[in-house]
Structure 1
Amino acid sequence: MIDTPPSTLTAVRADAHAFLDEVTGTRPRHGDADLAWLRTVAHRVQDAPESFLSWLEEILGDEENVRTAAKRSYWHPNGFAKMVLHASADFRIRLHVWPESAEPSRGESNPHSHRWEFASTIVAGEGLHMVEFRETTEGGMAYDRYRYGADPANPAALRADGGARLEVEKTPRVRRGDVYSCDTAIVHTVRPIAAGLTATVVIQGPHRTGTTVVYCEPGQTDDQPNGELTEADFRVLVGAVAKAVASCR
């Protein structure tokens, strides 16, 4: 779902801690970080770019912050970075970065769902092209279905879960200024619209389910390990995003 309502968060304070302090202080007092609140935070990234930029610069200026964030981040097999800038018990703030390349990245090309809800917004590049799917008994395209998180010995492994057919339900495009939200029922793929630097901020809520689904084309290997993301990688990527945010203010 894409929406563009105004943010309801309070005015930003003019210091480097303003963005995270404000976000943390507006969490629902009763209940957890629901999808409505995740969307509100994503809108705040768009509404207060100076505050968000200051936070990125604060992270880059602290060696311990860089070290901690890099350890919980990784390279996706398709060549883009998934970085966790903030992690707490009920929400995370992630930065997904597709570096500039000669050709557009395949992004997350395997249809998949998530164990958690999230809202995201574009902070660099033209945007993202989504394809949302649903299972069907007739038509569509055949896939091998896997369960992610179903193996207690290796939560990151894909466990075979039979076959399925998928048909396209929606094809949303998310551009700068839009907020895209996703619940655990949505199965989708994601790829950048253009080949230049593309970055999206993902506000992730708590886990709602124990497992999620991933679909692979028949014959495609299910062995798709993540790659190590170094501290140097982290600095280069976050620095490039900070520069892009600063240039658009």
Structure 2
Amino acid sequence: MSAPSHASKQLPATIDRELTDLLGPPRSPWEAPGFSYADELLGWASRWSSPERIRQLVQAVCEDPALLSACAARSFHHPLGFDKFVLLVADRYEVRLHVWWPGTRALHEHIHDHRFAFASCTLAGTVRSTVYEESPHGVLMARYRESRTERARDYVFHEPELTRVVALPPRPHPSGTGYFLRPDVLHRVWPTTDTGTATLVVKVPTPRATTTVLMDPLGKPPARIRRRFLDTETTRARLLRAAKWCAREV
């Protein structure tokens, strides 16, 4: 692999400076009236979602052996059918690329929330999101509490409780649009076609130790799932392919 260009070397530092300035010092994730950086974070993700910016970001990761190795160590094929690439990581943020390749069948996603807030912008294709709220008049669901093993390699699900939820109207997010979600918002997100979808996701960790997963109370409980991480060369090849595909070059 050739040595990183000067521009590629500077790009991660530029992103780190921009996101650190945007997010500011660590704060309570439940600060009223919400996440003050939400609009700015979504704006940042939108600006970095152009095909040229994605190409530059992928090139910076692929040309730097340390960044590429770190990316591969955190990247894997998600059980829901997409490749999750963790491009850059810092204490206050994580920059990801999610890719549902053309022809890949997206699996059913359970209603869930997260340990983190995030902004997501659609690079190709369309995703649809639905938010759910707990209500005594809603559909009966089994609520599982999900945690991680010590090395964060496995998802572990604990005994469920019962709750009821109602769905808000679904929202489409076609290429060039995005959204922000707090960690405590119950939701589902899925691609609308099998012709391929990609999103740029900026994750902001919070102190939450567990998440919620909702399922049909008569259904089979979620299984313990082990992540299978990608090797360096597979990561590099798929990242370069994704960047070209987002630019409609393949």
Q: Matched residues, percent identical?
A: 23
2:151 & 2:161 partners in 1: Cα distance? 21
Report the aligned-residue RMSD: 2.7
2:30 maps to which residue? Answer: none
2:142 maps to which residue? Answer: 144
1:119 maps to which residue? Answer: 119
1:157 & 1:123 partners in 2: Cα distance? 31
2:64 maps to which residue? Answer: 62
Correspondence 1:162-177 to 2 at 5 A: 162-177=161-176
2:195 & 2:10 partners in 1: Cα distance? 30
| Number of residue pairs aligned between Structure 1 and Structure 2 | 230
TM-score under structure 1 normalisation?
Answer: 0.81
1:22 & 1:49 partners in 2: Cα distance? 18
Change (3 A) 1:166 1:79: same
2:52 & 2:148 partners in 1: Cα distance? 41
2:210 maps to which residue? Answer: 211
2:42 maps to which residue? Answer: 39
1:159 maps to which residue? Answer: 158
Q: SS at 1:65's partner residue?
A: helix
TM-score under structure 2 normalisation?
Answer: 0.80
1:198 maps to which residue? Answer: 197
1:240 & 1:188 partners in 2: Cα distance? 30
Correspondence 1:1-249 to 2 at 5 A: 15-17=7-9, 19-26=11-18, 27-28=20-21, 30-32=24-26, 34-46=37-49, 48-101=50-103, 104-106=105-107, 109-124=109-124, 126-140=125-139, 142-149=140-147, 156-218=155-217, 219-231=219-231, 232-247=233-248
1:180 & 1:71 partners in 2: Cα distance? 27
**Partners of 2:77 and 2:230 within 8 A in 1:** no
Change (3 A) 1:90 1:245: same
The structural deviation recorded for 1:239 is 2.0
The structural deviation recorded for 1:221 is 2.7
